[in-house]
Amino acid sequence: QVQLVESGGGLVQPGESLRLSCAASGRTESFYSMVYSMGWFRQAPGKEREFIAGLRLSVSDTFYGDSVKGRFTISRDNTKNTLYLQMNNLKPDDTAVYLCAASKVPWRTYGAGTYDTWGRGTQVTVSS
C-alpha cells in the first residue's frame, strides 16, 4: 500500500552530523489516515533493534530513546510526505542501519513490534 524509503546515511567522523530522510510513496492519503505515529529505529550487527525517536502525528508530540536524547531530532514535512532524523554529535556507537517505521498505536510507543510498516534502512557509519 505504502512504501517507506530511507536515505541520507553515510560515513562520518565522530562529532559530525547527518540528516536522514524517510520518504513515503504510494497511497499516502489512506496511509496517514490510519497511522498515529512514526518513528526511527536502528540495528547494529549482533544487536537488537533499538528505538531512537518517535513522532505522534496528530498531536505533534516527539519522544526519544535515552541514548540519543539531546543529540537527535525527529520531524516531519507534511507537504513532502517525508520524515526526518537530524543527528548531531555522532558517536561510533551510533553506527547502525537506521530504519523508519509507522504505527497504528495512538500513544507513545517504543517497541519495534508496535510498528507495522518499515523501510529497508540506510547505513550510518561513524568512524575516524
**What span, in angstroms and rounded, lies between the C-alpha atoms of 81 and 89?**
27
> What are the distances in angstroms from CA 69 to CA 16, 41, 63, 65, 116?
16, 14, 9, 6, 24
**What span, in angstroms and rounded, lies between the C-alpha atoms of 35 and 28?**
10
Provide the pLDDT for residue 16. 98
Provide the pLDDT for residue 15. 98
Do residues 52 and 83 lie in contact, with contact meaning Cβ atoms separated by under 8 Å?
no
**What span, in angstroms and rounded, lies between the C-alpha atoms of 128 and 124?**
13
Task: Give the pLDDT means over successive 10-residue stretches in the chain (128 positions).
Answer: 95 98 92 92 96 95 97 93 97 98 96 96 97
Q: Which of 44, 32, 62 is nearest to 126 (CA)?
A: 44
Provide the pLDDT for residue 32. 85
**What span, in angstroms and rounded, lies between the C-alpha atoms of 75 and 104?**
18
Q: Which residues pair with 34 in a beta bridge?
A: none
**What span, in angstroms and rounded, lies between the C-alpha atoms of 88 and 90?**
5
Beta strands in the chain (DSSP E): 2-7, 10-12, 18-26, 37-43, 50-56, 61-64, 72-77, 82-87, 96-103, 115-118, 122-126
